[in-house]
Amino acid sequence: MKKSIVALSALTVAGLASAQSSVRLFGALDAGVSYYDAKTTNLTTGASTKQSSWRQSSSGYNSSRLGFLGTEDLGGGLAAGFWLEMGLNNDTGDAGQAAGVGSGGSTAGVPNTGPALFNRRSTVSLSGPLGEVRLGRDYTPSFWNDTVFDPFGTNGVGTNLLTSAHTGDLNSIRTSNSVGYFLPADLGGFYGQFQYGISENVKTTGVASSDAGRGIAGRLGYTNGPVNVALAYGQSTVLDIPAVSQSKVTTANLGAHYDFGIIKAFVQLSQIKYTTDFNTPQAGTELKRNGYLIGLTAPVGPGVIRASYTVAKDSLSGVPDPEASKLSIGYVHNLSKRTALYATASRINNKNGQRVNFGGAGTAFLTTTPGNIQSAGVANGYDMGIRHAF
């Protein structure tokens, strides 16, 4: 009898807990076939190099992923939550993203680039009337502008150049060891977030310490009906070897889209600044990469047409500025709310030594020597695939 009462009490408590909380499994599998070709020409000798490759690809429309999320109602408007999400390369079955700078601490300022289990997002949060506090590995504020205001959502060969231009910044998309704050959702259309990434490096009295992995970023926006606009800023210390050198990446971008009904128009302005400050007598160096995006999506029956044009231009002294432009167009055909077929075509033009590629499987292309103004390159990329979400 006593055992029955204990069992009944346990079931009752479990029932109350399940009524106040929820846990959900979600994910997407996106698989396709991609083709790349490229030609690089030396403008002095006239010699050219051609490359081409067929690949089975992943995440051409949506990122392949597997995740778990849950919330618990704490009463009084408060709620606790968690989000665990891992990337997938379904052509090989391995994880889709590296851990990035500052994950588990850096050694002598060198980034940790090893794979992580829940590499896309791993957070626990507390939310209420005053907003949300979130801790763990999370997306950066500036990346939200890159992906929200890109008709291709920063996936596949159509991904804008503003995102693929983050050379060397492993924290450009996500930051590990972060503490974030999000404004409440009921501010009349205004939204925003602040994020701080902790370096986790050891500090010793009398010894210079590394700040590698440290980051600070924020985003403020407004959305109402057909309009959405946001401004974001971030700075990340990607390398810090005391008494040798320190490298930082600073990003500022402004994005907007407006839904006219028959089309949705997109625009984005971006500046990425790479700074290396030498603690030795050597002079410091700085590179600025300015860019813009214009694009659109247009619903057509059960599908949508997507198109964008982006430009990324480096600012260098004494030589012509390296520049890249990219034109992308694609179509998504929705078979259901969960399943879609897609096709995308893109063309990149590099000049004055610029070296921008498609990312992912396309990184082997356009092996132009950076800074070599006597070279130019053209590359084409094509994605065709299927996405199934659950």
- Each residue's pLDDT tens digit, 265-316: 999 999 988 877 654 444 456 778 899 999 999 999 999 999 999 999 888 6
> Distance between the two ends of the chain, CA-based, in angstroms?
44
Question: Hey, what are 390's tokens?
Answer: 């659950």
Rounded-to-integer distance, Cα 243 and Cα 282, Å: 12
- Residue 184, pLDDT > 60, answer yes
Measured distance CA(68)–CA(222) in Å, rounded: 29
Of the listed ranges 73-82, 144-153, 241-250, 378-387, the one predicted with least confidence: 241-250
CB-based contact 35:54 (threshold 8 Å) = yes
Mean pLDDT for all residues in the chain = 82
Average pLDDT over residues 143-153: 95
Q: Is the pLDDT of residue 381 over 80?
A: yes
Q: Which CATH number fits domain 26-389: 3.40.1190.20, 2.40.50.100, 1.20.1280.50, 2.40.160.10?
A: 2.40.160.10
User: Measured between alpha carbons, how far is residue 149 from residues 80, 146, 152 in Å?
Assistant: 30, 6, 9
pLDDT tens track for 327-338: 999 999 999 999
Going by the DSSP 8-state scheme, the letter that residue 209 receives in this structure is -
Residues 8-65 pLDDT 10s: 344 334 444 444 789 999 999 999 999 998 887 776 677 778 888 898 988 999 999 9
Reference 62, options 374, 370, 342; nearest CA is 342
Q: How many residues does the chain have?
A: 390
- Burial class, 47, CB count within 10 angstroms (exposed 0-12 / middle 13-18 / buried 19+): exposed
Most confident by average pLDDT, 6-10, 232-236, 244-248, 364-368: 232-236
Residue 1 CA to residue 8 CA, distance in Å, equals 11
Whose tokens are 């440290």? That residue is: 214
- In the prediction, which pLDDT does 158 show? 94
